Amino acid sequence: MSETPQTPEGWERSDNGLHRTFTTDDFASALALVNRIGELAEKANHHPDLELGWGRVAVHLSSHDVGGVTERDVALAQQIDKVAG
Residue range 2-42, pLDDT digits in tens? 567 899 999 999 878 999 999 999 999 999 999 999 999 99
SS3 content of the chain, % helix, strand, coil (to 5): 40, 25, 35
CB 80 within 8 A of CB 37: yes
pLDDT at 60: 97
pLDDT at 2: 55
pTM of the model: 0.91
Assigned fold of 13-84: Gyrase A; domain 2 (3.30.1360)
Burial of 47 from C-beta contacts in 10 A (0-12 / 13-18 / 19+): middle
Domain boundaries, the chain: 13-84
